Amino acid sequence: MAADLQEKTNRYEGMLADALDEAVQAVPDETHLGDAAADCLEMAESYLDDGRHFKEADDWVNALASFSYGYGWLDAGVRMGLFDIPDDSHLFTM
């Protein structure tokens, strides 16, 4: 079971990192939606950093939770139209 948790955690880390690379802000910076996009991006990046910290500490459960939360923030931003993604992306629910 531990191997499954580690594999899934590593996979989610990669997915979040790739998703952060693909998402491009679609709204102007100086608007309320620009602030919302910045918040979503900051949360996703922070959860990626937190997950990597937990992984280094051999805390795989919290690492996976962090990567999942970060991905959720970014995916929600995409669904709200705050970010553009490539048409052929497999990383988002659009």
Mean pLDDT of the region 21-46:
97
Burial annotation 23-45 (CB, 10 A radius, 16+ → b, else e): bebbbeeeeebeeebeebbebbb
3-class secondary-structure state, position 80: coil
- Give residue 26's pLDDT band: very low, low, confident or very high (50, 70, 90): very high
User: Model pTM?
Assistant: 0.89
The alpha carbon of residue 82 and the mean position of all alpha carbons in its chain are separated, in whole angstroms, by: 14
**How long is the chain?**
94
pLDDT digits (tens, 9 = 90+) for 36-48: 999 999 999 999 9
The per-residue pLDDT for 76 is 93
Alpha-helical runs (H) found in the chain: 2-22, 32-56, 60-79
Give the chain's domains with CATH numbers: 2-84 (1.20.1270.90)
pLDDT digits (tens, 9 = 90+) for 53-89: 999 999 999 999 999 999 999 999 999 999 988 776 6
Phi, psi dihedral angles at 4 (to 5 degrees): -65, -40
Distance between CA atoms of residues 70 and 59, nearest Å = 17
The per-residue pLDDT for 62 is 98
